[in-house]
């Protein structure tokens, strides 16, 4: 999805369901695992539909599903599809260091507010029983430090990008303002430039938010 695309452009997709199903069947015959990079809700659903169709076709012929399908990124998943990775045996590979608003708000004009607010929601996928893995997808030297697993784990937990130090979505949630992508179950905004206490937002077990200042944030 590019900034120069028209506002009604919905993005392109590399393969439709039928072609991807044939690919899965071919890979299953040859014993080749498949790793696909998907970004939007349409591509996520297409991939799930293709896995389901391939597995059903194999089951109908008495053949076995032998390969592992992994979907990387998965930045926007329709709520109706959150449970499907667990049911279909798909690994969801979360590019965690993107989840602190790394790409800014450019996608909002294409997705609209409602879907933009639902980006980077991985809790439901994990809670449904799917295997969730972390990775960086870093392929450039200027981003190399972002491939550090600890960097990714920090952004996964805080949803705050240490490079851009974008305003923490969770704090705006706590203040009753509109959500931004990927609001977490709990988070904090650590001030990495000093040892001063950080603003921390916690979501309690009862679902309430509370804001406090603390030197240590644990999740
Ligand atoms: Zn990618």
Whole-Å CA distances, 211 to 94, 136, 171, 201: 27, 30, 8, 5
Tens of pLDDT along the chain (219 residues) come to 345 666 666 778 889 999 999 999 999 999 999 999 999 999 999 999 999 999 999 999 999 999 999 999 999 999 999 999 999 999 999 999 998 888 888 788 888 888 888 888 888 899 999 999 989 999 999 999 999 888 888 888 877 888 876 544 444 343 333 333 433 333 333 333 333 344 444 444 444 444 444 433 332
| pLDDT tens, residue by residue, 53-77 | 999 999 999 999 999 999 999 999 9
- pLDDT for res 160: 80
Task: For 71, list phi and psi in degrees, rounded to 5.
Answer: -110, 120
- pLDDT for res 161: 83
- pLDDT for res 7: 61
Q: What's the 72 CA to ligand 1 centre distance in angstroms?
A: 7
Q: What's the 137 CA to ligand 1 centre distance in angstroms?
A: 6
Q: What's the 210 CA to ligand 1 centre distance in angstroms?
A: 35
Single out the residue of 218, 101, 210 nearest to residue 165, CA to CA. Answer: 101
Do strands 187-189 and 132-135 pair parallel, antiparallel, or not at all (unpaired)? unpaired
Write down the CATH superfamily of domain 17-161.
Metal-dependent hydrolases (3.20.20.140)
Single out the residue of 25, 26, 19, 8 nearest to residue 43, CA to CA. Answer: 19
Q: What's the 103 CA to ligand 1 centre distance in angstroms?
A: 14
- pLDDT for res 179: 39
- CA-to-CA distance for 26 and 138, rounded, in angstroms? 29
- pLDDT for res 5: 62
Single out the residue of 55, 95, 52, 107 nearest to residue 71, CA to CA. Answer: 95
- pLDDT for res 205: 44
- pLDDT for res 89: 97
- pLDDT for res 86: 96
Domain boundaries, the chain: 17-161
Q: What's the 136 CA to ligand 1 centre distance in angstroms?
A: 9
Q: What's the 139 CA to ligand 1 centre distance in angstroms?
A: 9
Q: What's the 96 CA to ligand 1 centre distance in angstroms?
A: 12
Q: What's the 95 CA to ligand 1 centre distance in angstroms?
A: 9
Q: How many residues does the chain have?
A: 219
């Amino acid at each position: 999805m590019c900034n120069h695309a028209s506002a009604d452009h919905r993005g392109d997709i590399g393969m439709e369901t039928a072609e991807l199903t044939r690919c899965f069947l071919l890979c299953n015959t040859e014993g080749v695992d498949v790793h696909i990079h998907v970004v939007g809700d349409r591509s996520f659903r297409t991939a799930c539909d293709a896995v389901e169709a391939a597995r059903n076709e194999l089951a109908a012929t008495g053949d076995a599903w032998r390969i592992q399908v992994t979907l990387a990124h998965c930045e926007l998943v329709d709520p109706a599809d959150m449970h499907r990775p667990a049911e279909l045996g798909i690994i969801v590979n979360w590019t965690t260091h993107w989840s602190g608003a790394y790409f800014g708000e450019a996608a909002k004009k294409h997705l609209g507010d409602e879907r933009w607010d639902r980006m980077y929601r991985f809790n439901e996928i994990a809670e449904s029983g799917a295997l969730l893995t972390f990775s960086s997808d870093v392929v450039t030297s200027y981003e190399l430090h972002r491939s550090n697993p600890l960097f990714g784990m920090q952004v996964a937990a805080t949803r705050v990008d240490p490079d851009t130090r974008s305003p923490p979505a969770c704090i705006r949630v706590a203040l009753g303002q509109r959500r931004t992508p990927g609001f977490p179950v709990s988070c904090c905004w650590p001030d990495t430039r000093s040892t001063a206490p950080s603003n921390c937002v916690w979501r309690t077990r009862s679902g309430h938010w509370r804001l406090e200042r603390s030197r240590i944030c644990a999740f």
